[in-house]
Amino acid sequence: MESPFFSASNPLNFLLGGDLPINRLGYGAMRLTGQPGNFGPYADWEGGKQLLHHVVDRGVNLIDTAEAYGPGHNEEIIADAFYPYPAGLVIATKGGINKPAPDNIQADGRPESLRQGVEGSLRRLNLERIDLYQLHRPDPKVPFTESIQTLAELQQEGKIRHIGVSNVTLAQLKEAEAIAPITSVQNRYSLLDRTHEDILNYCTAHQIAFIAYGPLAAHPLRPGSPLVDAEGTLREIANAHNMSSTQIALAWLLHRASNILLIPGTTSIAHLKENLASATISLSQSEFQQLNNLG
């Protein structure tokens, strides 16, 4: 799709699963839900649809959602905004969580629940096949391999194009790979939180997309980011580029590894533009190393 940020020779290009060209700077749609707790439909439904169109109009072609966001309402607003979907738009969703209340989030990786989840997402998104379906988190009550095997079967049935996993350890990722090709890992990762460095390095070596959620170290259920008012090295580099500290934090992630995909979320068009502008920042090797040293 046409994009000022996307071309075959652009370092922001990534071939997801070997066949889906995407802009590495995507959009996480979770905030387009009821608040607090990302529960219920988004209060400004038409405004949310308008924001989603701004996202795509500015060259973003990866939108990340989940059955648990709403639950279900987030997938519905995406379908309402885009169906019939423009060519090249990739929708990634997740399943394997039961969320009956804002503060009640339960992993549910049972095969029957995952099947119901995939069918529900297909219906809400108005799709015949989901481009990227991710296990939202392992369920400690269900053998991890059973959950992955179910997704592999759904892939063979043509309901899932690519399989991803989220909130996993490196050992779990390797377990999943023994059952089916794994296209992506979605784990928390940012300038301030590099807990999953080993998984990122493994994914980089094997050309698996690493979808870094929480790229600004924000709490998933609360607005704001601790990076907004950062001082010291981060602020100094931001000032040198006439950018914000959060823009530099996103730029660092894009420089960190060529398989890192970002899905910062926002409900503000101005904030969306600010996030996208981070893709234009070219960090020097010295600046990149200084930021590395903050971790």
Class of residue 144 by CB neighbours under 10 A (exposed 0-12, middle 13-18, buried 19+): buried
pLDDT (0 to 100) of residue 1: 42
pLDDT (0 to 100) of residue 10: 81
pLDDT (0 to 100) of residue 5: 45
* pLDDT beneath 50: ranges in the chain: 1-6
DSSP, collapsed to helix, strand or coil, labels residue 170 as helix
Q: Which residues are identified as catalytic?
A: 69
Structural domains for the chain: 13-220+256-266 (3.20.20.100)
> What is the pTM (predicted TM-score) of this model?
0.94
pLDDT (0 to 100) of residue 3: 44
pLDDT (0 to 100) of residue 229: 66
Identity of the residue numbered 67: E
Measured CA to CA in angstroms, residue 273 lies from 13, 173, 240, 247, 295 at distances of 19, 34, 20, 10, 27
pLDDT (0 to 100) of residue 44: 98
